[in-house]
Amino acid sequence: MTDLSLFDPNGPSNPKNNIFGLPFNEEESRLIILPIPWEVTVSYGEGTARAPEHIFYASMQVDLLDAETDDAWRKGIYMRQPDKKILMKSDYLRKEAELYINFTSKGEIMEKNSFMCKSLKEINEGSTWLNHWAYEQTRSLLSAGKLVAVLGGDHSAPLGYFKAIAEHYGDFGILQIDAHCDLRKSYENFDYSHASVMYNALRETPQLKRLVQVGVRAGERDGLPDSHACRREEADDGLAGRGGQRGAERPGGMGQRVDFLLRVDVGRDAGVAGRQQPGGRHLAGRVGDSKIAGEAARGRQAARVPDGGCPGRTGRPGHGVRGGDGGLPGRFQVRDIAHQQPGLAFEPVAQ
Rounded to two decimals, the pTM is 0.73
Size of the chain in residues: 351
Tell me what pLDDT residue 214 has: 84
Tell me what pLDDT residue 265 has: 58
Tell me what pLDDT residue 252 has: 53
Cβ neighbours around 108 below 10 Å, total: 12
Tell me what pLDDT residue 68 has: 81
Q: Which domain holds residue 336?
A: 4-348
Cα atoms found within 13 Å of the Cα of residue 304, Cβ hemisphere only: 30
User: How many domains does one find in the chain?
Assistant: 1
Tell me what pLDDT residue 110 has: 83
Collect contacts of 94-103 with beta carbons under 8 A, ≥24 apart. 94/39, 94/40, 94/42, 94/46, 94/49, 96/122, 96/123, 97/40, 97/41, 97/123, 97/190, 100/188, 101/43, 101/188
Asked if 307 contacts 50 with a C-beta cutoff of 8 angstroms, the reply is no
Any idea what the CATH number is for the domain that residue 218 is in?
Answer: 3.40.800.10
Report the relative pairing of strands 228-235 and 332-339 from DSSP bridges. Answer: antiparallel
Tell me what pLDDT residue 222 has: 52
Tell me what pLDDT residue 260 has: 67
Tell me what pLDDT residue 264 has: 61
Per-residue pLDDT for the chain (351 aa), expressed as one digit of tens each?
788 988 999 899 998 999 999 999 999 999 999 999 999 999 888 899 999 999 999 999 998 888 887 788 999 999 999 999 999 999 999 999 999 999 998 888 888 899 999 999 999 999 999 999 999 999 999 999 999 999 999 999 999 999 999 999 999 999 888 888 889 998 999 999 999 999 999 999 999 988 888 888 776 655 555 545 443 333 333 333 322 333 334 455 555 577 767 766 544 444 444 554 445 554 444 444 444 433 333 333 333 333 333 333 333 333 332 223 333 333 334 445 544 333 222 233 332
- From CA 270, how far away is CA 263, in angstroms rounded? 10
